[in-house]
Amino acid sequence: MKVIIPAKRHSSRVPDKNWRPFYGTKSLTEIKIEQLLGSFPVSDFDLSCDDEAMASIAEKAGIGFLLRSAEHAADATPWPDALYGIVAATPFDDEDDIMWVEVINPLFDDYAGMKAGWEKVCMEGYDSLVLAAPFNKFLLRPDGRPYNFLPGKWHVASQGLEPLFIWDSACIMKKRDMLYFSYPIGRKSLLYSTGSNCVDIDTMDEFVLAQNLYTAKMNRQ
């Protein structure tokens, strides 16, 4: 299995999100590399970034570095096009299994479990294993009508709601399927739950919240 870590330099909502200090002097990208190195040999890694200066981080960790084109790092480029460009640039074979791991969830680190889960289901007709977080909340439509629950005497506790999931920051697929769909989800996906280890850093407030949660997790170890 091969690993791609997409971590572009520019971020419009959280400046330098992937590379600014997150825990001590370590960035989200460096933390994610360390987490993955516990489960994969360095020869199977590629870090994708549009800033050649970040190659030193990959070199220090002993992993590969792929210089991403400006087009595939631009906010104006549709995400499927960027994903296709990143995956197509890897030296991996079309039949290789690829774990795509974004750095925006530092709390999840069970990549060995994901790998083992894929090895069990890839022969059962699944074309992707997708990291997802369980979501048991009462949702409303824009017009105020309930989306996933019934009001009044039909109300049930949140544990009784039909389970929904939030797509998280990682998946496993064959390279050829990633290129075919230009997306990290195939036609038949098996969800791999994060449990409660889910954050999605998209704003500065979420960055600070994730810092606090990650620091608390590290202090418990």
pLDDT the model gives residue 195: 80
Count CB atoms within 10 A of the CB of residue 39: 18
Nearest to residue 106, comparing CAs of 8, 7, 186? 7
Is there a contact between 14 and 204 (Cβ–Cβ < 8 Å)? yes
Mean pLDDT value across residues 179-201: 89
Whether pLDDT at 71 is above 80: yes
137-179: pLDDT as tens digits? 999 999 999 999 999 999 989 888 888 898 888 999 999 999 9
Mean pLDDT value across residues 33-44: 89
Distance CA 193, CA 166 (A): 10
Q: Note the pTM of the prediction, 2 decimals.
A: 0.90
The class of domain 2-135+167-220 in CATH terms is alpha beta
Distance CA 165, CA 99 (A): 20
Domain ranges of the chain: 2-135+167-220
pLDDT the model gives residue 135: 87
The overall average pLDDT reported for the chain is 92
192-221: pLDDT as tens digits? 988 877 788 989 999 999 999 999 999 987
CA 220 to chain centre: 24
- Torsional sign, CA 51, 56, 60, 62: positive
- Counting Cβ atoms within 10 Å, is residue 10 exposed (0-12), middle (13-18) or buried (19+)? middle
Q: Copy the structure tokens of residue 91.
A: 């030296």
pLDDT the model gives residue 163: 84
